[in-house]
Amino acid sequence: MNVAVVGTGYVGLVTGAVFSDLGNDVVCVDKDVDKIEGLRAGRMPIYEPGLEELVARNVADGRLTFSTDLADTVRRSDIVFIAVGTPPKATGESDLTAVEEVAHGIAEALDRYKVIVNKSTVPVGTGDLVRNIIERNRRRPVNFDVVSNPEFLREGSAIEDTLRPDRIVIGAPSQQVAMTLLELYAPLERPMIITDVHSAEIIKYASNAFLAAKISFINEIANLCELAGGDVTQVMKGMGLDPRIGSAFLNAGLGYGGSCFPKDTDALIQTAASLGYEFRMLRSVVDVNRERVQRFLGLIRKVLGPLEDQVIAVLGLAFKPKTDDMREARSVELIPRLAMSGARVRVYDPVAMENARRHLSVPIEYCQSSYEAAEGADAIAIVTEWNEFKLLNLERLRQVMRRPLVFDGRNIYEPERMRRLGFEYHSIGRKPAFPN
Residue 268's closest CA among 224, 209, 216, 325? 209
What's the CA gap between 80 and 109, in Å, rounded? 12
Look at the chain and count its residues: 436
Q: What is the dihedral of CA 80, 82, 84, 87, to 10 degrees?
A: 170
What's the CA gap between 313 and 300, in Å, rounded? 12
Q: For this structure, is 225 an active site residue?
A: no
Report DSSP letters for 257-285, one per residue: -TTTHHHHHHHHHHHHHHTT---HHHHHH
Residue 64's closest CA among 13, 109, 111? 13
User: Which residues make beta-bridge pairs with 195?
Assistant: 171
Report DSSP letters for 230-258, one per residue: --HHHHHHHHHTSTTT-STT---SS---T
> Which of 28, 225, 260, 367 is flagged as catalytic?
260
Vertex 202 angle, CA 199 and 207, to 5°: 120
Residue 248's closest CA among 289, 221, 219, 211? 211
Q: Is 32 helix (H, G, I), strand (E, B) or coil?
A: coil
Q: In what helix (H) or strand (E) does residue 3 lie, and over which residues does it extend? A: strand 2-6
Those residues with Cβ within 8 angstroms of residue 175's Cβ, 6 or more apart along the chain or in another chain: 194
Instruction: Determine phi and psi for 250, rounding to 5 degrees.
Output: -120, 35
User: Which residues make beta-bridge pairs with 170?
Assistant: 194
| Contact (CB, 8 A) for 267 and 92 | yes
List active site positions. 260
